[in-house]
Amino acid sequence: MKRFQFKLDGVLQLRNQHERTVVDQHATALNKVNQLAEKMKALQDGLMLQQQRYQQSLSQPQSVSMMQNLRKGCEYYEQRITETGQALDSAEHDLEQSKNALTAARRECEVMEKYRDRLAGAHAKIVDKADQTFMDELSLRGAHQFS
């Protein structure tokens, strides 16, 4: 009897390839979120340091231009934090979309694999039944030869 051949194997391979592509996209999105989160932390730390310098400058006599530069430094950090926060929100949204796409791609592959396994199981039963019928016929022939 012929061995099992899944006729939709090409479709399954395409779905597996699509899943690998989606996994790569998800990894890229996750990496981007992590990088932006690290950048946000660094900016917040920089802002905190800049604000401390500004507070220290208020308690000590400083030139007006020095204080203005410190204040502009704080404003710079605040602006960068806002921009990075928006980029982080966008990256998190992209990550959520890639997570949903990954779930859908995995589901599609699982459906095809279960279908293939079900067909392979049915084929195996048919082969087993044919083998058993053949063995029964052989044993009957053998019994008739010796009788």
Q: What is the pLDDT of residues 115-128, one digit of tens each?
A: 999 999 999 999 99
- Give this prediction's pTM: 0.75
| Domains recognised in the chain with CATH numbers | 17-146 (1.10.287)
Report pLDDT for 144. 65
Report pLDDT for 57. 82
- pLDDT for 15-46, tens place per residue? 999 999 999 999 999 999 999 999 999 999 99
Report pLDDT for 81. 97
Give the C-alpha separation, 32 to 76, whole Å: 23
Tokens of 12: 């399954």
The continuous run of DSSP H or E covering 27 comes out as: helix 9-59
**C-alpha torsion sign, points 49, 54, 57, 63:** positive
- pLDDT for 56-114, tens place per residue? 888 887 788 888 888 899 999 999 999 999 999 999 999 999 999 999 999 999 999 99
Q: How far is CA 105 from CA 15, 40, 109, 116, in A?
A: 7, 32, 6, 17
